[in-house]
Homo-oligomer: A and B are copies of this chain.
Amino acid sequence: MTGPRHSCGVIGMYCSDDVTSDIFKALRMIQHRGQESAGISVFNGSKVITAKGTGLVSDAIKQTGMQAINGNCGIGHVRYPTSASKSEKNAEPIEVQITHGTIALAHNGAITNYQELKKKYLDTGWSFLTDSDSELISKIIAKHLIQNNDPVKAIRSTMGEIEGAYSLTLLYNNRVFGVRDPYGFRPLCVGWLGNGYILASESVAIDIFEGDLIRDIAPGEVVEITANEIKSHPSSVNYPSAHCMFEWIYFARPDSVIDGREVYDVRKAVGEILASESPADVDLVMPVPDSGRAHALGYSIGSNIRYEEGFMKNRFAERTFILPDQKQREDSVAMKMNPIRSTVNGKRILIVDDSIVRGTTLVKLVKMLRDAGAKEVHVRIGCPPVIAPCYYGVDMKSRDQFIATKYSVNEICRKIGADSLGYISVPGLVKAIGKPENDICLACLNNRYPTNISGETHRFQTTLRNSY
């Protein structure tokens, strides 16, 4: 996949011991979900203390005095910017003081009626200090809390106002909540650590403590965790879910389990199905590392064609390095990826990547293989053609950017210079994920959106939104 399209990541913890350093540890396990900024909020016994900054978790904390905090409940966040401009101002958790105390909120997702809701509240006299939908969510929760001081009710009422994708962890004074939108777009799970509970975007954050993944938070569910207990407040309405298929295909770590399905297994199954849907007479199957590895392995298993690691990735290439007079020769793909000639030379090769957005990288990879002596180069993609924007937290905003909206598969095949090109089918993808099609969000593949988006088609032709 060409560029980073990460989501954000959230953590919540309530233990019988201090959670401060453990939240940081958990955040580092989900660092792949966002590297722009990071933060943590802990209730230190008398009040909520928040520390946040730009950069990786380890850098963001350096500037703070977080080490000194001692508290047994808190939340954390890693951010990839989706809805607001890059700046420390938009780092999370966002902290809101109200008359009953302090709310800190960490949010993964995107509120689709943000502009409309913000305008509505601006018109009633509200003011905002940031451009982040998290401030809006926090303030709506605050509004309801002020009315009833019942956090679960306040969250529920807020869920009745906001639309879109949101997995939240929330610290309200000394109480910790996890919230997932009624469609379950973004993941959120809960685990047991021996001395307390953890909420996390991905189960790998539980593994680091040798803890146990208990279950996913259900779509529409609100949970409260303490050191001893998970109190569930399930949704009273019954939507079909709309789990983002990209979490399994690209975002999540392969060792995470998302909504009951091991990510690695889904990717391998994608590869196996792709092998049957889109076979090829080749000598070897190779991944585009690291993201296409499990898909390629599945293809190899499904096709019984030898698997090879024929591309080498340069782990140091990500660092920016710009000389003012940089020559034209520089080729950032070449700096990152290099074929193993002895493996490739004289062979008919099939490479597997997780997805195509713009297709620019593949052009270069195919050329590299031919230059290294490959007789044929076939390309298989573990995700159907992306043709529609995402409004639920993935940074794909405009139809113009997608190669598949402009060209047919055959044309794309010619453009990238491959001998053949095959995408997994939508039914194939659904089968690999192993859930009913209606429980998965495939909007970016089929233009049918699980929620009402102005100008877009609803997947059921009718709105299911109920009053909460």
Contacts and interface: CB of A to CB of B under 8 A. Distances in A.
A334 interface: yes
A57 interface: yes
Contacts of A307: 297, 307
Interface centre among A88, A127, A129, A314 (most CB of B within 10 A): A127
Contacts of A264: 309, 312, 340, 342-343
Contacts of A324: 67
B97 A129 contact: yes
Nearest to A322: B58
B341 A262 contact: yes
Contacts of A96: 127-129
A255 to B, nearest CB: 4
Nearest to A52: B89
A338 B97 contact: no
A94 B129 contact: yes
A16 interface: no
A337 to B, nearest CB: 9
A139 interface: yes
B21 A338 contact: no
A320 B98 contact: no
A339 B293 CA distance: 15
Contacts of A131: 97
B98 A122 contact: yes
A56 interface: yes
A335 B330 CA distance: 34
Contacts of A99: 119, 122-123, 125
A325 interface: yes
A142 B127 contact: yes
A329 B56 contact: no
Contacts of A29: 314, 335
A257 B297 contact: no
B122 A314 contact: no
A121 to B, nearest CB: 9
Interface in A257-309: 257, 262, 264-265, 290, 293-294, 297, 301, 306-309
A36 interface: no
A343 B265 contact: yes
A445 interface: no
Interface string A318-357: 0111011111011100110011111100000000000000
A320 to B, nearest CB: 7
B326 A309 contact: no
A208 interface: yes
A297 B286 CA distance: 12
B97 A125 contact: no
A122 B309 CA distance: 52
B67 A323 contact: yes
Contact of A342 (B142, B204, B265, B306): B265
A96 B139 CA distance: 14
27 contacts: A17-B327, A21-B330, A22-B327, A24-B323, A25-B335, A31-B314, A31-B316, A56-B316, A94-B129, A95-B129, A96-B127, A98-B126, A125-B147, A207-B334, A209-B329, A210-B334, A210-B371, A253-B314, A253-B338, A255-B338, A255-B339, A255-B340, A257-B342, A264-B309, A264-B340, A264-B342, A293-B309
Interface of A: 17, 20-22, 24-25, 28-29, 31-32, 35, 56-59, 61, 67, 88, 94-99, 103, 119, 122-123, 125-131, 135, 138-139, 142-143, 146-147, 204, 207-210, 253-255, 257, 262, 264-265, 290, 293-294, 297, 301, 306-309, 312, 314-317, 319-321, 323-327, 329-331, 334-335, 338-343, 371
